[in-house]
Amino acid sequence: MAKKIVSNGDQQYKKNARVDGHYEQIWQNTGKCVFCDLKKKYILLEENEIVLTINLYPYIDGQLMAIPRKHLYSPKELTSAQWETVRKFGYLAKKLFKEVHGYKGMWTLIREGGTAAQMTVTDHLHIQFIPFDQPDLCEWHYRKLKFTPEESVASYKKQVASIKRLLKRYAKKYQGENF
């Protein structure tokens, strides 16, 4: 039997939605991209069509996000000015985390790729600013490596022609330069 969705005004219900197990039901029943429909009351700042907003379903108290107003899929679609705004908002987030919550650390997580990248809500690009105070917040699952780091860098260094081609493509596409 499905749980009843409580109204958006019930902040206590939403407060621990991830921990209590009803986050999935909430976001799946919105029927729209929640990042395209941000409510003003949650927005801290907006600059260069990038919004600094609170995460309504945070992993930890105070978590913030930078979200493009336009529904973008990848960071490569951001302009230089928008990237600088994201960088500025990250700086601000880290300072606010320390002042308001006493957190000294922060992870910056660029979320793109939709469900293939374990994004739950949408494929709308967003950058998470996640404060942390203890290592238990994000548990990493390391994999047994096939290659040593030296072997990996040697493999990449053999890709000189590919690297030059990709850098040229990048410059042409994003910098308007011809090599």
List per-residue pLDDT tens for the chain, 179 residues long: 344 444 445 666 666 655 665 555 555 555 667 777 788 888 999 999 999 998 877 888 889 999 999 988 889 899 999 999 999 999 999 999 999 999 999 999 997 755 554 455 567 889 999 998 887 776 766 778 788 888 888 888 999 999 999 989 888 877 765 44
Evaluate whether the domain defined by 30-132 bears CATH number 3.40.50.261: no
- Within the chain, where are the H helices? 11-15, 17-20, 23-28, 80-96, 149-157, 160-170
CB 57 within 8 A of CB 14: yes
Coil, strand or helix at 134 = coil
Please state the domain extents for the chain.
Answer: 30-132, 142-179
pLDDT value of residue 21: 59
pLDDT value of residue 11: 64
Amino acid at 107: W
pLDDT value of residue 18: 54
Structure tokens at 103: 């957190």
**Can you point out the beta strands (E) in 33-166?**
43-47, 50-54, 64-68, 105-111, 126-132
pLDDT value of residue 58: 80
pLDDT value of residue 179: 43
> Which are the contacts of 50, defined by CB distance < 8 A and separation ≥ 6?
66, 67, 68, 69, 82, 85, 86, 89
